Amino acid sequence: MPINVKLDDVLYERRMTLTELSEKIDITLANLSILKTGKARAIRFSTLEAICKVLDCQPGDILEFTK
Amino acid sequence: MPESDGYALSLTRKILRFLMVLNPVFAFLILVLLIASLIWESWVMTALGVKSELDSTKLIFAMRTIMVLGIAAAPLVQVVLKRLMAIVESVDSGNPFVLVNAERLKTIAWSLVSLEVIHFMIIVVAKGASSQELPIDIDLKFSFTRWLAVLLCFVLARVFEQGARMRDDLEGTI
């Protein structure tokens, strides 16, 4: 899929683990893992908003379009 | 699931199980009748109300053809009942919007089409052999409702296909 999820990179920059993020945004670790590995089919605005709020970033920092 | 829905499903399951037993029994009885009509022709035909003094060759042939068609319909009815039972069980398990149910509905729809074709063939055979002296007394009429049921099954199959895709998408949404 040409949409890449860069959640791992942002998490590394913020020195945060996926487990910590899942606790802060109240989304299961399993679902966040699906998102992180690019296996998700879609992402809700509410999820994106929560991630951006906690990681203090923009949606573009999480998602990237490659040709 | 509301209690009334659970009761309706449970009742449907019981009716389907009963029909799944009844259908092959009926098919077997028609087969017995067919074999008996070949072995004890005059006795069976008299029992069926065919007057022996009239020339009934055409009528006997028509009745046997109808019996064969009746036996041929039984596996199709069984397919419909089995697929319907599988759909009911999938509703029970809480996961009815799956692609396999769309396939089941398509199979049901095609089986119903085949049954209607058999029904039409029976009408043709019965009308062809029936006369004033020797009428074939079977209630055979074109039914708009049955063809509507066929259409409904095809439409429902498409609905289930879409539903299954939407469910897949929803499951993949984080």
Cα separation of B16 and B23, whole Å? 10
pLDDT, one tens digit per residue, over A34-61 is 999 888 889 999 999 999 999 999 999 9
**Cβ burial B115-147 (10 Å sphere, 16+ → b, else e):** bbebbeebeebbeebbeeebebeeebeeeeeee
Taking one residue from A and the other from B, the number of pairs with CB-CB distance under 8 angstroms is 23
Nearest-by-CA chain A residue for B169 = A41
Interface of B with A in 130-169 (CB under 8 A): 168-169
Spans of all domains in chain B = 3-173
Look at residue A65 and give its three-state secondary structure.
Answer: strand
The answer to whether ipTM exceeds 0.85 is no
Tokens encoding A23:
């606790």
Cα separation of A55 and A59, whole Å? 10
pTM of this structure: 0.74
pLDDT, one tens digit per residue, over B81-119 is 999 999 999 988 888 889 999 999 999 999 999 999 999
Burial class of residue B14 in the structure, from the number of CB atoms within 10 Å of its CB (0-12 exposed, 13-18 middle, 19+ buried): exposed
Cα separation of B119 and B24, whole Å? 18
